[in-house]
Amino acid sequence: MSLRALVLLACAALVLGAPQQSDSTCTDFCEDPVLGLGHYVCCYHEGKCPSRQFCPHHIGAKVGPTICEFDYQCSKTEKCCYDVCLKHKTCKRVV
């Protein structure tokens, strides 16, 4: 294979493997958990995590909050926030 062809292939790989910015405000990308290698999503959603004034006592709750590590694991209207009552990060509506 010629040097020119190798350079062209290397450039194509860089372009195809680069994060595709659909949101111009995003500065940090994570690998898409659905599409996998070479596909990226914005790691963080806009907004702030809500503050918790007290720890509610839920009796008989059938479904707990969604555990997360990054915002992209939550819906677009939520952020992945540390919950002081649960002692781990969960998806919470932004404020």
Q: What is the pLDDT of residues 60-76, one digit of tens each?
A: 667 788 999 989 899 98
Q: pTM for the full model?
A: 0.59
Token output for 11:
């450039």
Query: Quick check: 25 pLDDT over 80?
Result: no
Q: Tell me how crowded residue 81 is: count the other CB atoms within 10 A of its CB.
A: 21
Neighbours of 94 (CB within 10 A): 16
Range in 11-15, 37-41, 83-87, 88-92 the model is least confident about: 11-15
pLDDT > 70: what percent of the chain? 71
Residue pair 33/73 in contact (Cβ under 8 Å)? The answer is yes
Is residue 93's pLDDT more than 90?
yes
